[in-house]
């Protein structure tokens, strides 16, 4: 078979495990899209706009390990950049692929459409460099294979997005055939001496400690080290706490799971245990103003080990390149049982109060929605929560074995959840995708529900209609937190048009919600959106406490220069 630049790229995407790529057409990428279509192992999935295309690839990467978004130059690429930067923040290898102007138009006096009517055709590449770990512009079929391989391998190694721009007249140009993909997938090994030094330091520290605790962060998945974290936990026998952004990365049904560590808004026992511990092993953690509740909850000091994706640091010392998975499994083989924190956790833990069902005709509340969604979760469920009170609604739920949880906590862009759920569901056909999304967030990217309808994906969306930006109300209120109400359930009918099987329902009390859920469970031919109508001030107490602390952190006056 003869390869072209586009079919070479398709082969590489397929070799690294992708079965789909997301796309929005435009004249600069049409030939490229044709070339990608020649690969029968790789399905082309369309989105309504490029921001959503980026987020769909991001959601896909969460379940399949990597994702790709194909867009047109400038008008498309610039729109996708928000999602790509989000993938950077969230440690997800999303490959942004953009068509670009003809090579013959460069270095001429031609002005090209979809540009700023200047002769600069490099700005998209320059912008992409800021939000990716590798950015290449392909203008030669001879160099294309090396450039494509470079971008993809960097993205996989660093778990960050990469950018590949392909001139429209190069996409179908013949090029070399792809070789084996092993090199693209190879992980950076630890430096053996650095690994030994890190292990010696940490085992030395642990020898003098009685009360170690593990704190799991969201980079654990990026490092591919979830299994190894369980190995270390079981070797130590200690309590394991999990940051909100890493919910489900350590199984919640594991006997050592000691709750979500998120300061005053997480599980109370988790915070007490971390504060009580004499040594905290932070694994792939990200501490920011949100995750530390306005800098009020963050382990620090000489007894904190930071085991990051490629580094281990302890008491001001950094040991050089150490792969997290290797570090955790080696450490697991060297440590002795230290189970004091688990014993203490067992003493202080309190089972969450079981909510009983209210009168079925009582006005719907947030608590009742959470109660009903909780009862839907099974080993096959992935719960996706949008920025807003949905974070707190989801974080408090108990996940059965096998259930997964997705949150975009570092980037925190509203509008993420609809397209990310779409991308996730494309990648995880056998799982049951459930999304909880606020009304304000939904208004950013609602149209991607139409693609769920087009592909008959049985995603269930709980649209929390609290009539505004409630999380912002709690941080800092003003007229800008009010939004125009929509007929959210009615919207689905509009998206269905003549052939869709999506369902839109509206629940104003518990019994309507239960009926809507049963319709959603039966609807296998498209998404079901359930608009849950609740009061504007019906929000979680955690949101109020968290909002207060974040507002204090935001309001710190400038330091004198």
Nearest distance from C-beta of residue 350 to ligand DPX, angstroms: 26
Question: Which of residues 195 and 471 has its CB atom nearest to ligand DPX in the complex?
Answer: 471
- Of 369-388, binders to ligand DPX (CB under 6 A) are 387-388
CA 520 to chain centre: 25
Q: Give the interface segment with Mg ion, choosing from 269-277, 351-359, 390-398, 439-447 (CB under 5 A).
A: 439-447
Cβ closest to ligand DPX, residue 162 vs residue 384: 384
Q: How many residues bind Mg ion (CB under 5 A)?
A: 5
Applying CB under 6 A, does 469 fall inside the site for ligand DPX?
A: yes
**For the packed helices 324-334 and 192-207, what is the interaxial angle rounded to 10 degrees?**
40
Edge to edge, the sheet with strand 503-507 lists: 404-407, 381-385, 432-438, 460-465, 528-533, 503-507
User: Distance (Å, rounded) from C-alpha 377 to C-alpha 417?
Assistant: 18
Cβ-Cβ contacts under 8 Å for 440 (sequence gap 6 or more) = 388, 414, 468, 469, 483
Rounded CA-CA distance 82/55 in Å is 9
The closest of 4, 60, 57, 49 to 25, measured between CA atoms, is 49
Size of the site for ligand DPX (CB under 6 A): 17
**Residues β-bridged to residue 215:** 241, 282
b/e burial code for range 389-425 (CB count within 10 A of at least 16 → b): bbbbbbbbbebeeebbbbbbbbbbbbbbbbbbbbbbb
CB atoms within 10 A of CB 337: 11
Tell me which of 59, 438, 500, 547 binds Mg ion, using CB under 5 A. 438
For the sheet with 43-46, list strands across it: 43-46, 20-23, 67-71, 94-100, 162-167, 134-138
Site for ligand DPX in 98-157 (CB under 6 A): none
Least Cβ distance, residue 79 to ligand DPX (angstroms):
13
Least distance (Å) between residue 539 CB and Mg ion = 9
Long-range contacts of 197-201 (CB under 8 A, 24+ apart): 197/319, 197/320, 198/312, 198/314, 198/319, 198/322, 198/327, 199/327, 199/330, 199/331, 199/334, 201/312, 201/314, 201/317, 201/319
Cα–Cα distance measured from residue 503 to residue 63, given in angstroms and rounded to the nearest whole number: 25
Kind and range of the H or E element at 149? helix 144-158
**Cα gap 535→467, rounded to integer Å:** 8
Residue whose CB is less far from ligand DPX, 78 or 414: 414
Q: Look at residue 81 and give the partner it binds from ligand DPX, Mg ion, none, a contact being a CB closer than 5 to 8 Å depending on partner kind.
A: none
The window from 23-31, 298-306, 463-471, 524-532 that contacts Mg ion (CB under 5 A) reads 463-471
Q: Which is nearer to ligand DPX, 153 or 292 (CB)?
A: 292
Of 29, 470, 528, 540, which lies in the binding site for ligand DPX, with binding defined by CB under 6 A?
470
User: C-beta of 184: minimal distance to ligand DPX in Å?
Assistant: 33
Q: Of residues 47-106, which lie at the interface with ligand DPX (CB under 6 A)? A: none
Instruction: Supply the minimum distance, in Å, between the C-beta of residue 530 and ligand DPX.
Output: 15
Among 68, 155, 229, 471, binds ligand DPX (CB under 6 A): 471
Q: Which of 149, 165, 439, 531 binds ligand DPX (CB under 6 A)?
A: 439
- Asked whether position 460 contacts Mg ion by CB under 5 A, the answer is no
By CB under 5 A, residue 52 contacts Mg ion: no
Q: Give me the residues paired with residue 313 across strands.
A: 306, 318
Q: How far apart are CA 31 and CA 302, in angstroms?
A: 57
By CB under 5 A, which span of 307-315, 329-337, 432-440, 452-460 interacts with Mg ion? 432-440
Regarding 542 and contact with ligand DPX (CB under 6 A), the answer is no
Are residues 260 and 247 in contact, defined by beta-carbon separation less than 8 angstroms? yes
Pick from 191, 278, 472, 477: which binds ligand DPX (CB under 6 A)?
A: 472
Single residue of 415, 427, 458, 526 touching ligand DPX by CB under 6 A = 415
Using CB under 6 A as the binding rule, whether residue 412 contacts ligand DPX is answered as yes
Q: Which does 389 bind (CB under 5 to 8 A by kind): Mg ion, ligand DPX, none?
A: ligand DPX
CB of 459 to ligand DPX, least distance (A): 17
Nearer to Mg ion, 147 or 466 (CB): 466
Measured from the CB atom, the residue of 57 and 414 that comes closer to ligand DPX is 414
User: Does residue 440 belong to the site contacting Mg ion (CB under 5 A)?
Assistant: yes
Q: How far is the CB of 443 from ligand DPX (least distance, A)?
A: 8
Q: Report the distance separating Cα 356 and Cα 182, nearest Å.
A: 54
Q: Which of 226, 368, 389, 542 binds ligand DPX (CB under 6 A)?
A: 389
Q: Read off φ and ψ for residue 145, nearest 5 degrees.
A: -55, -45
In degrees, rounded to 5, the angle at the alpha carbon of residue 426 between the alpha carbons of residues 26 and 374 is 135
Which C-beta is closer to ligand DPX: that of 35 or that of 481?
481
List 237, 266, 284, 440, residue binding ligand DPX (CB under 6 A): 440
- Identified binder of ligand DPX from the candidate list 79, 413, 445, 460, rule CB under 6 A: 413
Q: Which residues contact 114 (CB under 8 A, 6 or more apart)?
A: 26, 28, 72, 73, 74, 75
Task: Report in angstroms how near the CB of residue 177 gets to ligand DPX at its nearest.
Answer: 42
Q: Which of 50, 344, 439, 512 binds Mg ion (CB under 5 A)?
A: 439
- The answer to whether residue 415 forms part of the interface with Mg ion (CB under 5 A) is no
CB 358 within 8 A of CB 368: yes
Diameter of the chain by CA atoms? 76
Q: Can you give the binding site for ligand DPX, defined by CB under 6 A?
A: 387-389, 412-415, 438-441, 466, 468-472
Q: Can you give the binding site for Mg ion, defined by CB under 5 A?
A: 438-440, 466, 470
């Amino acid at each position: 078979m003869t390869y072209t630049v586009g079919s070479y790229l398709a082969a590489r995407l397929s070799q690294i495990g992708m079965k789909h790529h997301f796309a929005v057409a435009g004249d600069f990428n049409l030939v490229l899209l044709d070339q990608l279509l020649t690969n029968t192992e790789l399905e082309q999935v369309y989105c309504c706009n490029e921001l959503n295309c980026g987020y769909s690839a991001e959601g896909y990467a969460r379940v399949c390990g990597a994702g790709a978004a194909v867009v047109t130059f400038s008008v498309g690429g610039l729109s996708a950049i928000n999602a790509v930067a989000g993938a950077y923040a969230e440690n997800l290898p999303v490959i942004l692929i953009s068509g670009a102007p003809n090579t013959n138009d460069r270095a001429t006096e031609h002005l090209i459409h979809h540009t700023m009517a200047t002769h600069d055709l490099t700005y998209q590449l320059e912008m992409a460099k800021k939000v990716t770990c590798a950015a290449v512009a392909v203008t030669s079929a001879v160099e294309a294979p090396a450039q494509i391989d470079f971008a993809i391998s960097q993205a996989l190694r660093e778990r960050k997005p990469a950018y590949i721009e392909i001139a429209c007249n190069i996409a179908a140009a013949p090029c070399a055939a792809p070789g084996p993909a092993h090199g693209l997938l190879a992980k950076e090994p630890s430096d053996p001496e650095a690994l030994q030094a890190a292990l010696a330091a940490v085992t030395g520290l642990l020898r003098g400690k009685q009360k170690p605790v593990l704190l799991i962060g969201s980079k654990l998945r990026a490092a591919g080290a979830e299994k190894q974290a369980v190995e270390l936990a079981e070797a130590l026998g200690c309590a394991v706490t999990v940051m909100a952004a890493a919910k489900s990365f350590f199984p919640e049904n594991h006997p050592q799971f000691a709750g979500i560590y998120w300061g005053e808004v997480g599980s109370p026992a988790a915070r007490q245990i971390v504060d009580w511990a004499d040594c905290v092993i932070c694994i792939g953690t990200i501490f920011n103003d949100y995750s530390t509740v306005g800098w009020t909850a963050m382990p620090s000091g000489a007894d904190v080990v930071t085991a990051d994706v490629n580094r281990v640091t302890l008491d001001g010392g950094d040991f050089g390149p150490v792969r997290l998975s290797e570090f955790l499994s080696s450490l697991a083989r060297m440590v002795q049982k230290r189970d004091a924190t688990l014993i203490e956790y067992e003493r202080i833990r309190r089972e969450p109060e079981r909510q009983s069902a209210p009168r079925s005709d009582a006005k719907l509340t947030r608590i009742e929605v959470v109660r009903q969604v909780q009862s839907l979760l099974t080993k096959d469920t992935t719960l996706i929560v949008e920025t807003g009170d949905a974070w707190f609604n989801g974080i408090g739920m108990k996940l059965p074995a096998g259930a997964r949880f997705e949150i975009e906590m570092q980037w925190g862009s509203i509008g993420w959840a609809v397209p990310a759920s779409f991308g996730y569901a494309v990648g995880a056909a056998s799982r049951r995708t459930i999304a909880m999304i606020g009304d304000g967030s939904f208004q950013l990217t609602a149209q991607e529900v139409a693609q769920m309808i087009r592909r008959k994906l049985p995603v269930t969306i709980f649209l929390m209609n609290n009539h505004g930006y409630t999380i912002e109300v709690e941080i800092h209120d003003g007229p800008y937190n009010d939004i125009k109400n929509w007929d959210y359930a009615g919207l689905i009918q509009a998206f269905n048009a003549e052939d869709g099987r999506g369902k839109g329902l509206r629940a104003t009390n518990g019994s309507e919600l239960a009926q809507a859920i049963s319709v959603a469970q039966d609807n296998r031919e498209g998404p079901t959106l359930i608009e849950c109508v609740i009061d504007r001030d019906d929000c979680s107490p955690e949101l109020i406490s968290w909002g207060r602390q974040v507002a204090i952190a935001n309001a710190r006056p400038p330091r004198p220069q």
